[in-house]
Amino acid sequence: MEVLEEKEEEEQKEEELKALEISSELHDTKTKLSVEQICFSSDVPDFDWNSIDTSQLPDSYKMNSPREKKLLRIADHYHQQYTHLCPERKPLFLHPVNECGVEKFVSTTVRPTLLPYTELYHWDGCASFVSDYLTMEPLKCPLTPPSSLYSPTTILKYQRGNCFDFSVLLCSMLIGAGYDAYCVNGYATHNICSLDESLEECPLLRKPQEVPKEDVKKSNKYRVKSLPDMHSKFELQQEAKKKAETEATEKKERGERDMEAEEPTCDHLCGLRVHAWVLVLSGKREVPETFFIDPFTGNSYSTMDEQFLGIESVWNHKNYWVNMQDCRNGCKDLVFDLSDAVHWEIMLSETDKPLQLLLGAEKKNELFDRNVDDMEEEEEEEEEEISFAMPPSWVAPIQISPKEFETRCSQGRKVILYKKAKLEKWAPYFNGNGLVKRLTIYADSNWTEAVEVKEWFKNREDMLDMREVNKQTQLTTEYFSPGHLFGLKVHAYKSMNPQTERVMEFYTETRVDGLQKLAENASEMKEYFMGRDDFKYFQHTEFRTKRKKVTLAGVGTDVNSRPIVQIKECFHRNLQKPADEDIAERVFLIEEEMIQLTYHLKDKYITASKKDFFKPTESYRKQSEIMTPEMCITYQAGSSEQHTKLVHLYKLLQKLTEEEKQLKQQVWRSQAEMNAKKDEFPGQNEQDLDYLAPFLIQMGSPEKMTRRQALRLRDNCLSDFKNRLVSKANIIQARFEKEVEELQKKNQLFQENQNQLSEKEEADLLADYSETMFRIHILALRLDREKQTAPQKYLALEEKLRKDPRLAEHLGHA
């Protein structure tokens, strides 16, 4: 019985073992099928590389030189040793075929090149150019390196490639710029390999870490003690606790929703996905620390980054190294000293010593079992490897024309999706309004609810650099470079309509009036000054809300001339004058016909000297006595007597009255600048206009055109646009001359009838005079701007027509 039971147990174990073997075979089969499905699913390229024309390529692309053939033999021998000593590792990426079907060693595909563009002298400029210029193609099989590696010149020509193509081009540019750069064949996460940045924070939104500063509290035993807080601390603590709990709950719920939306799916191929990137070693070009560059994004990464999971090999234009270190922890623990033979196995020895493999001891034992002839042959091959130097690159010189460098993005535009953000890039001059980059920030992970938009511009006449639009508050903030017509630096507004709330900051050094900041709304305007000779630093103008609408012919802008209620000025201390003669504040009460002067405080005084002037009315002017004591109330700090004579007060009043007129003109000019800013540059809508449409209709809208028709269409369009620019300038010029003529008539009428006008008639005439001056100033600004912008507008349209696909094939470089 016991023997039978033992036999049954043995048979059961055998059956279990067979079942395990069958299940493992099925598992292997499923794994193979899944790998095959992965390879086949991605084997649908967007571009047919088999259709490219290779007939015009140099001979070096189509054949190997004797040195290249010898290099391939050395590489094969090196690979045999590698597979013998490391049978568990994947085959090395050594000599894939090029675009002509010829095997080329990977190091000879690297073509060090320094391109004549300042931006490409630095690693970040090179990385940015490669990531923008090329279109990413995934590997046909994500688990194995590609079977081909095309030249950087072909990749640049067709503006597309896989991670290996990107890396070889970038490495060529970096080595040419003086960096110690290497191409890397390794493994990375799915997001890195597939250029999926939807879970990454946009680099433009990353804020540098600020070092906290310790606040040094200075004790002052003489300070006045604050009143005791009579609120209940317990109630305040309870309210704060309740508020904190509510906020924590809301934050937790919001975080859970975000986590559900952003939680990455489990990658079953993690650690197996092949990727190529660039390694930059420290030392050359003052690089302080070794780092990685992902060629798809152009971003730099630490060698400790968890997204890079392992390295098989690295190479440059001189040699090839195999990583012999354990990559179970990714690249965190790797040593990047390529001269260390323990950690890196070099292919072409750079010393007089023979090649050293990690398992050299095993090799010696095996050599003893071989015959003497085999040993002699291998020694000869090793001697060849020792004395052999890498042949020069077979790739033609890498060239990038200025037009290609400026165009950058494939088809002129590139879109990148980040975590709750979308980044759009355009080539310079692609958009008529100079837009080159736009970052849209969203409240959700599906990129539907926009919260904020940031736009960057280049080559704009008005020197606009960046614009920020807050979609929630509708606040727009524009930033300008030096060179704006009015010296504008920052412009913040919610609407471009006149007299709406806005704030402007200026480059003070470029303005004659020293204006630093201007803030305006419907009822007031505040101006801040700096570095003025008259020591003025602030001006506050109040308006009446009732407005009189003035339409300027030929300008296309409605201007609201607002009645001024009062103008207040503030001045810094002028040490060249006595304090009681140095004005600190003066207020012009326009409607009340008053002028108030307040002087700076004298030393050891707590009150300042003051003067209040009352302008003479019509009845006073008709009397023989022009100035009376009642027209000026004076307070002299430290004295009860009246020291100033009436004649001096009268002269001061005349001077203040004249300065009041000048201040009004200055306010009109400030408003004119506000309104001229509205139309200073064509917007987004203008770039979408089809200038050819009316002329195509006149030609009968032909589907195809001859070269002669295309030239005539272009010339007619440019001629019409030029005539419209001239006509617009002429209209503004005619209106300007008419307003000047009317101003001269009004001035003459005022001089002739000044003594006969009533007070009301004189006030109305002066108001009309001021409005005319205001219109003249705006027209002068518009006319000057039209004369400056007309040539640029004409050239911009000419360039746009040259790039128009309906004309481009016929015009060429005409």
For the packed helices 646-676 and 759-803, what is the interaxial angle rounded to 10 degrees?
30
Longest dimension (CA), the chain: 151
pLDDT for res 23: 38
pLDDT band at 744 (very low <50, low <70, confident <90, very high): confident
Q: Find out whether 799 and 766 touch, Cβ atoms under 8 Å.
A: no
Closest CA to 73 of 376, 321, 392, 382: 382
The secondary structure of the chain in percent helix, strand, coil, rounded to multiples of 5, reads 40, 20, 40
Question: Which band of pLDDT confidence, cut at 50, 70 and 90, is reported for residue 59?
Answer: very high
Residue bearing the bigger pLDDT, 433 or 9: 433
Check pLDDT > 50 for residue 451. yes
Find tokens 């030609």 and name the residue. 699
Report helix, strand or coil for 606: coil
Query: 111 near 154, Cβ under 8 Å?
Result: no
The answer to whether residue 10 scores a pLDDT higher than 70 is no
Q: What is the pLDDT of residue 675?
A: 65
Q: For 491-495, 579-583, 797-801, which range has the lowest pLDDT when averaged over its residues?
A: 797-801
CB 296 within 8 A of CB 193: no
Q: What percent of the chain has pLDDT over 90?
A: 37
Give the pLDDT of residue 77.
92
246-249 — which CB contacts under 8 Å span 24+ positions? Answer: none
3-state secondary structure of 527: strand
Q: Are 627 and 646 in contact (CB under 8 A)?
A: yes
427, 407 contact by CB (below 8 A): yes
Nearest C-alpha neighbor of 688 from the set 432, 351, 332, 319:
432
Q: What mean pLDDT, rounded, does the chain reach?
A: 79
Secondary structure string (H, E, C) spanning 26-85: HHHHHHHHHHHHHHHHHCCCCCCHHHCCCCCCCHHHHCCCHHHHHHHHHHHHHHHHHHHH
Mean pLDDT, rounded, for 247-260: 66
Using alpha carbons, list the distances in angstroms from residue 810 to 224, 631, 678, 709.
85, 81, 39, 9
Q: How confident is the model at residue 731 (pLDDT cuts 50, 70, 90)?
A: confident
Q: What is the DSSP-derived secondary structure letter of residue 509?
A: G
In this predicted model, what pLDDT tens digit does every residue of 395-449 receive, in sequence order? 999 999 888 888 887 777 888 898 999 999 888 778 878 899 999 999 988 888 9
Residue 189 structure tokens: 């996460």
What is the pLDDT, as a whole number, of residue 400? Answer: 92
Highest mean pLDDT, choosing among 106-110, 457-461, 614-618, 806-810: 106-110
CA 557, 558, 564, 565 dihedral sign is: negative
Rounded to whole angstroms, the Cα distance separating 773 from 739 reads 8
> Residues 106-145: pLDDT tens digits?
999 999 999 999 999 999 999 999 998 998 899 999 999 9
pLDDT tens for 193-226 read 988 888 888 888 877 655 455 444 555 656 666 6
CB atoms within 10 A of CB 785: 18
pLDDT-derived band at 41 (thresholds 50, 70, 90) equals: very low
Nearest to 447 by CA among 426, 470, 418, 469: 418
DSSP of 464-501, one letter per residue?
A: EEEEEEETTTTEEEEEE-TT-TT-EEEEEES--STTSS
Q: Quick one: pLDDT at residue 645? A: 78
Give pLDDT, residue 735. 85
Contact status, residue 777 vs residue 672, Cβ threshold 8 Å: yes
Q: Report which of residues 327 and 12 the model is more confident about.
A: 327
Q: What mean pLDDT comes out for the span 255-275?
A: 71
d(CA 520, CA 146): 63
Amino acid sitting at position 138: P
**Cβ 524 vs Cβ 561: under 8 Å:** no
Per-residue model confidence (pLDDT) at position 246: 83
Q: Length of the chain in residues, anyone?
A: 814
Mean pLDDT, to the nearest integer, of 554-577? 76
What SS3 class is residue 609?
Answer: coil
User: Can you give the pLDDT at residue 763?
Assistant: 67
